Amino acid sequence: MDDRMVVLTRAGACLVLDLDTPWLPRVLHWGADLGPGVDAAALRAVAVPGRRGGAPADPAAPSLLPAQADGWAGRLGVEGARDRAYPHLRLAPVGVAVAPDGGGVEVTSRDSAAEVSVVSSLVLDDAGVLRLRHTLTNEGSGAWTVGGVRAVLPVPDHAAELLHFSGRWGLEKIPQREAFLPGIRSLETRRGRTGHSHTGLLVAGSAGFGFGSGEVWGVHAGWSGWTVHDAERVAEGWSTLGAGELLAPGEVVLAPGESYATPDVHFVYSDSGLDGLSARLHASLRARASHPSTPRPLVLNTWEAVYFDHDLARMKGLADVAASVGVERFVVDDGWFLGRRNDLGGLGDWYVDPDLWPDGLHPLVDHVRSLGMQFGLWVEPEMANPRSRLVEEHPDWLLNDPSRVPREWRHQHTVDVANPEVYAYLLERLDKLVGEYAIDYLKWDHNRDLLEAVHDGHAGVHEQTAAVYRLLDELRSRHPSLEIESCSSGGARVDLGIIERTDRVWASDSNDPLDRQAIQRWTSLLLPPELIGAHVGPGHTHVSGRVTELQLRCATALFGHAGIEWDITECSPAELSLLSDWAATYKRLRPLLHTGRVVRADTDDAHVLHGVVGPGQAVFAYVALQTMTADIPPRLRLPGLDPAVTYRVTPLAGLSSALPRWARPAAWLESGAVELPGRVLATVGLQAPPLNPGQVLTLELTAV
C-alpha cells in the first residue's frame, strides 16, 4: 500500500479508502480482508469502472460523503444550506490522520466557499465492526441549516437481496426480504423513538444468504430519534448502504462556530451469513467498558402479576414466593406513584403515593432485601397524563406546539426534557428516589410516539433525544451501580444509542413464547442475549390470548436475560418445582448463554432450531411451530460446534416437552444421551422427536 491509500483491517473485515482524488476519499472496498501486499495502483485500476459513450470522463464513485461534485446523482451525503447559498458542498480533504494502531482514520475536509468543514471519523474495532461518524462545523459568519448528514458505504453488485424488519406492538421484528433492485429502498422512522417496526439492521446479501451462509453487509444508526436507513442502486451500477439521523426542516441550525455530529453509524460485514454478522456485533458490544460485567440476575417483574393493584401484603407474598424459586431481582412495575390507580392519571408525578404506601416503599424494599433480592422500580420519565399535578401546574412543560391541543396517546403526553426546568425536575426526582431506596434497577419506559414534537418554537425530536441521553448519563454518573432497562411499549426503543446508556432492553410486551421465538431471534441479530429481557409469563398469555405449556415458556426465556412476569403465588406445587429447576439451570448456564456465540439453523416455517455455543459446551432449543406435514420429523443439524470435539448430548428434562401420547421418541432419546463429534452433529444431525405445535426439546452439550 502507498500513502495515497488507507487500509483498515480487523478480524477478517477490511475497508480501503482511496486518497488519490481532489475530493473526499473514495471507498474502494468494504468487505473481506484483502490480505497483505495489495498494490494500490492495481487495486485502484480494477475498482474504478470504465465508461460507456456519453458518460463523464471520470465516472462517479461513492465517496465518504457522496456529492454531486463527484458526479453522484443518488441520495447525497450532506444536505443543507446557508440561506439559499451553497446548496451543494464541494468538500476537499485538508487532512488525513491514521490511528497509530491502524484501526481508525480521521479525514478532515472543507468547502472554503461555503465555509463549512466536516471531520469524518472511522474506527474499525477488534470485532470487525466499523463505526462512522461525521461532524459538520459552520465556519462562516451566518447560520447554516443542516438538512441531513448520512454515513454511506458501497456494497458490491453481487449483493442481490435485502433484509429489514417491520412489526407492531406485541409482535416486533418481523423479517422482510426482497430483491435489491435499481432505485432506493428508504426505511424512515418519524416516531420520536426507534419504533416497533424499526429496521434494527438493514442488511444486503448475496443471493440466498442465510444464518450460516453467504456474504452479508449490514448498517445500523445508533440513535433513538428519527432515523433513515437506505439501500440504493444507481443507474451507473453502484450500490450503497447508508444511515443517519433524519432531521425535520429547520430542526438543526448552526450558529457561527457551532457543530453538528451525526450519531455513530455501525457497519458490519460477514462472509459466514447472518450468524457471522451478529457474532461481530455481539463481540463489539461485549468489549465495551460499560457492558454488564456481573451475572444477569433472574428477575421477577410485578406487572402481569398485580397490574395497578398495589398492596403491601400482596407484594410481600409475591416476593416470598419469588425468592423461594430463586429470583434475584424484584421489580415493582407501574402503579406505585401519586394518584396512579389506572393509566388515566398520575404519570409525571414521581412521588410515592402516601395512600398506597403510607410508610413509603421502605417496608417492601426492606422485605425484598431481607430475602436476598435486589430491588427495582418502573418509571416513565418522558411522559405525563393530563390528569397529573405536573400538567395542571406546568402545561408549558409539554413537548408540543403551545398554540394547539396536543394529541393524546394512551391518555398521555410527552414532556419536554430539553426544557431546563423539566430536566432539573426529572433529575431531582429520579436522583432522590434512587438514593432514598438504594434502587438497583430502573425499568425506564416510553409508551407513545412523539407526534408534533415542538421545542422552543421548532421541531424538537433531536433535542429531546439528546436531552434524554444526558439525563440517563447524569443519573448513572451519580449512581454508578444503577442498572437501567430500555422499555418502550416493549421493543420500540432498541438501538445502539440507547444501549450505550442502559443495561438491557425489553424486547416485547408480549410474553407469548411462540411469538417470542421470532422476536428474540431477530432482536439478537443486533444484541447479545444478556441484553434482551425474556420472561416466563402465565399459561394464558395476556397479550395474545394463546395458551402454552410451561416447558416452552421456560425454554424461551432461558435464551435471554431471564425473568418471570406472572402471579406465581397462584402456581401449583408442580409449577413452582419446575420454575425452581429452571432458575437453577439458568444460573448454571448463564456463563455460557451470556458469553457464547449465538447460532441459528436455516429451517422451514414449521420449526426453529437455535442455540448458544462456547468452548466445549452448547445449549440448543428445537421448537415446533406448526403441525408436521411429514410422518418423520426433521433432522436437527446443530450449527456452530467444533467439528473435532466429541459432545455428549443430553435433553434438559425440565425444559423439554413430554411427547404426545401416540408418539415414540428416536432411539437416541430413549437412551437418554448420545456422544458424537461436532462434525457429525452438524452434518448428519439428530432425529427430532415428533412434537406438537408449541412443544420444545432443549439440549445441553458438553465435551467428552
| Catalytic residue set | 445, 509
- Residue entry with cell 412443544: 695
**Positive or negative torsion for Cα 340, 507, 477, 374:** positive
Give residues with Cβ within 8 angstroms of 537, minimum separation 6: 304, 511, 512, 513, 553, 565, 566
CA-based nearest residue to 550, from 577, 523, 529: 577
Please state the separation of Cα 664 from the chain's center in Å: 41
Cβ atoms of 563 and 325 closer than 8 Å: no
- According to DSSP, the residues that pair with 161 across neighbouring strands are 179, 205
Rounded distance between C-alpha atoms, residue 185 and residue 45, angstroms: 30
In 139-282, beta strands by DSSP E:
144-149, 151-155, 159-168, 171-179, 183-189, 202-206, 216-221, 227-233, 239-245, 252-254, 259-261, 265-270
Query: Measured in whole angstroms, how far is the alpha carbon of residue 485 from the centre of its chain?
Result: 12
- Reported as type and span, the H/E element at residue 458 is strand 458-459
Question: What are the residues facing 604 on neighbouring strands?
Answer: none
**In terms of residues, how long is the chain?**
704
Helix H segments across 501-597?
513-523, 550-558, 573-593
- Which among 145, 143, 152, 109 is positioned nearest to 15, based on CA atoms? 152
3-state secondary structure of 501: coil
Q: Which residues contact 701 (CB under 8 A, 6 or more apart)?
A: 617, 618, 619, 620, 638, 641, 647, 648, 649, 650, 681
Which 3 state secondary structure label does DSSP give 510? coil
Ordered DSSP codes for 406-441? PPPBTTBEEB-TTSHHHHHHHHHHHHHHHHHHT--E
The H or E element containing residue 648 is strand 646-651
Residues 6+ apart with CB under 8 A from 412: 343, 347, 383, 384, 385, 386, 447, 448
The three three-digit cell numbers of residue 365, written as one number: 424494599
- Residue 246: name the closest of 266, 268, 263, 271 by CA: 263
The grid coordinates of residue 13 equal 473485515
Classify the C-alpha dihedral 25-28-30-34 as positive or negative.
Answer: negative
Distances 690 to 516, 622, 634, 653 between C-alpha atoms, Å? 22, 11, 9, 16
In our burial notation (b when 16+ CB lie closer than 10 A, e otherwise), range 448-470 reads bbbbebbbeeebbbbbbbebbbe
Cβ distance 200 to 173 under 8 Å? yes
